[in-house]
Amino acid sequence: MSLVIKSLDAATSPTVGAAGFFDVPKAKFSMQVEVTGSPTSISLELDGTIDGVNFFFMGQWSPGQAFLAVINACVVKGVRANLTSLSGGTSPTVTATIAAA
């Protein structure tokens, strides 16, 4: 079963997004990112978990990209967006939607 989850919904400050979990482990992921307010600095990661509790870094989105695609040799049980920094601009927001297959 594939999964699509909105992990971050108009986040206005650094935060860990909602996690999505799978019925069977997955190894292919895409993260679509929408940014408003023209921030001058942003750092957004895609994290994964094998045990459903402890998350680890799998990839980093870069400003200017419409999405981040990650195809891992490692399968995971769940994923989440992790907004580690956001600054500058005018009331910036970040929305991250993740798909797994």
Q: What is the CATH number of the domain that holds 19?
A: 2.60.120.1110
Q: Which of 3, 4, 79 is nearest to 44 (CA)?
A: 79
Number of domain units in the chain: 1
Does position 1 have pLDDT exceeding 70, yes or no? no
Segments forming the whole domain that contains residue 95 = 3-100
What pTM does this model have? 0.91
Arithmetic mean of pLDDT, 57-64:
89
The pLDDT > 70 percentage for the chain reads 97
Instruction: Name the token pair of 42.
Output: 């942003």
- The terminus-to-terminus CA distance of the chain in angstroms comes to 7
Band of residue 66 on the pLDDT scale cut at 50, 70, 90:
confident
Listed in sequence order, the residues at least 6 apart from 10 whose beta carbon sits closer than 8 Å to its beta carbon are 36, 93, 94, 95
